[in-house]
């Protein structure tokens, strides 16, 4: 399912799915995914979501001394801050937040630049030239934090950040993508996948939407009911770009054996995960065009009113509102089912500090300021993103029951984001390995190869790449 694809929700790498992705979660890919590639689509989708938001904050937040939680900030510090795909849609928000930061930490000046399609090339070149920015917006879903920290380019935060400040964030988000047990990022905005429900099909099948499964092991029986009583197939899509991540989040499958190098996803857990999909496909409860198809196929099937539910970003509810009034009137929204890992997906975006910054305290202060609850709630009022701190969800913006279905995700987000972790190990030759896994899964789904045999062959072939 889309949610179990490492969480970058379909194309909101920069912001929200359906808006910009992951964590079923994965991909949570939410899961939500296999982390998608950054592209202008993310910015465009974020812009559309921001334009659609009727609740964007209209006033600039006043300075609050309580936001000054980092001590020893260097007087006269001038720091450079790079973001990813946030301009021009969020120029005013970024500028206003920087102005509030500079007023909160007098004497510090910030220079901001937004980079988009060439972000990584620009960053790599700046590190090579010795003039990298002090504070950097990095993608957790794409593995950029561990990549740059692993090269010794980022500042370790654990000894420099007071424990009360660390405690502001969800613990699993603070400790994601550790390098040798050390953290190098402040968790920033998160994406979310949800299940959109077609309540008309639920009613036809005699299913109460309130009983939608909390875990994926409840999906086979539910989809059988929809087929038998409503002649409707479930639109569930595998994350073909990162199948191992989906196996980890949904099936609690271990990618490697005890040595951490030898592939071992042909375990009983891996076989059970694949067998679930094979059985559903054999029973005819899944739409085969969606199962291994492009995400747009699943979105179209649901938007047309043909599918009982679909895992996607909350923003699809707005699309349905504009394109299918009948479906919108029957729309429901619930959390995506958790896999056996108990984790909905990985985090989306973070802010890091370069290791050799001349102003470490000022740089840490800026990274923390943008990711603190106050700044995050204001950002969430402009676009459908979700904070990385529990206390942010106490704000009325999140705690007040939604009146429109498209805003319902606000009330679902805290419980989901609290589970986010990056639990997928780094896979060498990832694209080649994924191609091997994809072919094995296709052989089990469509060519009647036994799941154990299919995964045994995939493991054997993947391990050859390690030699």
Instruction: Give pLDDT tens digits for 226-267.
Output: 999 999 999 999 999 899 999 999 999 999 999 999 999 999
Beta pairing, strands 135-139 & 349-353: antiparallel
138: left (phi over 0), alpha (psi -120 to 50) or beta: beta
Segment 208-220 mean pLDDT: 97
- Of the candidates 44, 53, 7, 48, the residue with the CA atom closest to the CA atom of residue 381: 53
pLDDT of residue 466: 85
pLDDT of residue 467: 75
Tokens linked to 418? 């609290």
**Cβ neighbours of 244 (radius 10 Å):** 24
**Cβ neighbours of 24 (radius 10 Å):** 37
Segment 143-160 mean pLDDT: 96
For domain 68-193+345-427, the CATH architecture is 3-Layer(aba) Sandwich (3.40)
pLDDT of residue 58: 56
- Of the candidates 305, 255, 230, the residue with the CA atom closest to the CA atom of residue 433: 255
Kindly report, residue by residue over 437-456, the tens digit of the pLDDT.
999 999 999 999 999 999 99
Kindly tell me the sign of the dihedral angle through the C-alpha atoms of 274, 420, 350, 392. positive
Instruction: Flag whether pLDDT at 57 surpasses 70.
Output: no
Instruction: Flag whether pLDDT at 39 surpasses 80.
Output: no
pLDDT of residue 295: 86
In angstroms, rounded to a whole number, what is the distance separating the alpha carbons of residues 68 and 327?
A: 47
Higher pLDDT, 129 or 43: 129
Beta pairing, strands 78-84 & 135-139: parallel
pLDDT of residue 351: 98
Segment 61-84 mean pLDDT: 97
Distances (CA, A) of 62 to 246, 375, 381: 43, 11, 16
In angstroms, rounded to a whole number, what is the distance separating the alpha carbons of residues 453 and 139?
A: 36
Q: Quick one: pLDDT band at residue 121, thresholds 50, 70, 90? A: very high
Q: Quick one: pLDDT band at residue 170, thresholds 50, 70, 90? A: very high
Segment 389-395 mean pLDDT: 98
Percent of the chain whose pLDDT exceeds 90: 83
- Of the candidates 380, 55, 105, the residue with the CA atom closest to the CA atom of residue 388: 380
Tokens linked to 128? 């090579």
In angstroms, rounded to a whole number, what is the distance separating the alpha carbons of residues 395 and 406?
A: 18
Percent of the chain whose pLDDT exceeds 70: 88
In angstroms, rounded to a whole number, what is the distance separating the alpha carbons of residues 74 and 365?
A: 10
Which residue is associated with the tokens 């191609």? 435
Segment 140-145 mean pLDDT: 91
pLDDT of residue 55: 41
Q: What is the pTM of this model?
A: 0.85
Instruction: Flag whether pLDDT at 44 surpasses 60.
Output: no
pLDDT of residue 446: 96
Q: Angle of helix 219-230 relative to helix 268-282, nearest 10 degrees?
A: 0
């Amino acid at each position: 399912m889309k949610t179990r694809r490492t969480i970058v929700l379909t194309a909101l790498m920069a912001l929200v799915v359906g808006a910009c992705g992951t964590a079923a979660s994965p991909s949570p890919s939410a899961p939500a995914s296999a982390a998608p590639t950054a592209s202008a689509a993310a910015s465009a989708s974020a812009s559309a979501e921001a334009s659609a938001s009727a609740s964007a904050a209209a006033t600039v937040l006043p300075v609050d001394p309580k936001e000054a939680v980092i001590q020893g900030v260097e007087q006269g510090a001038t720091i450079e801050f790079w973001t990813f795909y946030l301009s021009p849609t969020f120029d005013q928000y970024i500028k206003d937040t920087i102005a509030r930061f500079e007023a909160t930490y007098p004497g510090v000046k910030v220079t901001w630049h937004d980079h988009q399609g060439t972000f990584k090339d620009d960053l790599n070149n700046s590190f090579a030239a010795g003039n990298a920015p002090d504070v950097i917006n990095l993608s957790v879903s794409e593995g950029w934090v561990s990549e740059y920290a692993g090269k010794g380019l980022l500042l370790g935060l654990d000894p420099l950040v007071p424990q009360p400040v660390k405690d502001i964030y969800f613990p699993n988000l603070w400790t994601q993508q550790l390098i040798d047990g050390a953290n190098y990022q402040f968790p920033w905005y998160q994406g979310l996948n949800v299940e959109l429900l077609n309540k008309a099909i639920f009613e036809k099948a005699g299913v109460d939407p309130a009983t939608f499964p909390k875990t994926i092991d409840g999906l086979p029986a539910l989809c059988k009911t929809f087929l038998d009583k409503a002649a409707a197939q479930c639109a569930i899509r595998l994350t073909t770009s990162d199948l191992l991540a989906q196996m980890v989040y949904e099936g609690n499958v271990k990618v490697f054996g005890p040595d951490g190098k030898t592939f071992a996803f042909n375990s009983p857990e891996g076989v059970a995960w694949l067998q679930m999909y094979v059985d559903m496909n054999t029973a005819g409860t899944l739409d085969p065009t969606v199962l291994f198809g492009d995400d747009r196929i699943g979105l179209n099937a649901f938007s047309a009113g043909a599918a009982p539910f679909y895992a996607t970003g909350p923003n699809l509810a707005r699309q349905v509102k504009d394109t299918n009034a009948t479906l919108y009137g029957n729309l429901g929204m619930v959390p995506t089912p958790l896999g056996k890992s108990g984790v909905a997906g990985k985090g989306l975006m973070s802010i890091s500090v370069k290791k050799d910054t001349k102003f470490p305290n000022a740089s840490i202060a800026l990274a923390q300021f943008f990711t603190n609850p106050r700044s995050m709630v204001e950002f969430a009022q402009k676009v459908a993103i979700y904070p990385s701190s529990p206390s942010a969800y106490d704000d009325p913006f999140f705690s007040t029951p939604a009146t429109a279905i498209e805003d319902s995700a606000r009330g679902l987000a805290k419980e989901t984001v609290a589970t986010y972790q990056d639990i997928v190990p780094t896979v060498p030759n990832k694209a080649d390995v994924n191609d091997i896994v994809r072919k094995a899964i296709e052989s089990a789904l469509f060519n009647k190869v036994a799941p154990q045999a299919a995964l045994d062959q995939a493991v054997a072939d993947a391990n050859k790449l390690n030699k």
